[in-house]
Amino acid sequence: MATRIVVAISGASGSIYGIRLLEVLQELGIETHVVASSAGMVTLRQETSLGMADLESRSDVVYRAADIGAAIASGSFRTDGMVVVPCSVRTMSEIASGITSSLVSRAADVTLKERRPLVLCVRETPLHAGHLDTMTRLANMGAFIAPPVPAFYTRPETLDDIINHTVGRLLDHLGIDNKLVERWSGTT
């Protein structure tokens, strides 16, 4: 089976990370199955002026958030993992509680129950104790909590450098080799 990744875009700020991830996965020839929440689509249009056609051009399959009969809603549909990028606190909380009211949270729940990598690029701040407790529950369930935190040891010169580094680290959590991350080799 070829590598197959589920990508979800929720309503938190940072939809450019999801777009760049899809572009890189497409460049790598990796099959992508994409779902965006309704808030995710609003944020995508607000932050990037992109829309559904742009998601479709960067993806193999795009599902509606209400399509609970989608392939990615079943554990028998094999994937190599899922990334929710950006991941809102609402989406994170639904996943942690097992509430599967949308395809985003259902696909994430399936990913966890099948013991596949689930990477949540939580993009909210500041965080209160409830958020931190939810992150701890998810980490204990096997999810990777990977906020988009810039790494300045790479000496980024552009916004694209920062975005690419974060996307490269997300790919690392899925076990996908990439050249987006400048690997640390110690101090010079």
pLDDT in the model for residue 183: 84
CB 74 within 8 A of CB 107: no
pLDDT in the model for residue 23: 98
Give residue-wise pLDDT tens across range 10-62: 999 999 999 999 999 999 999 999 999 999 999 999 999 999 999 999 999 99
Which residue ranges in the chain fall short of pLDDT 50?
none
pLDDT in the model for residue 1: 57
Q: What's this model's pTM, rounded to 2 decimal places?
A: 0.96
- Alpha-carbon distances, residue 38 vs 11, 14, 51, 79 (angstroms): 7, 15, 11, 24
Element (H, E) at 54: helix 52-57
85 phi, psi to nearest 5 deg: -145, 115
Alpha helices by DSSP H, 98-158: 103-113, 129-141
CB 92 within 8 A of CB 98: no
What are the structural domains, with CATH classification, of the chain? 4-173 (3.40.50.1950)
If 0-12 CB within 10 Å is exposed, 13-18 middle and 19+ buried, where does residue 180 land?
Answer: middle
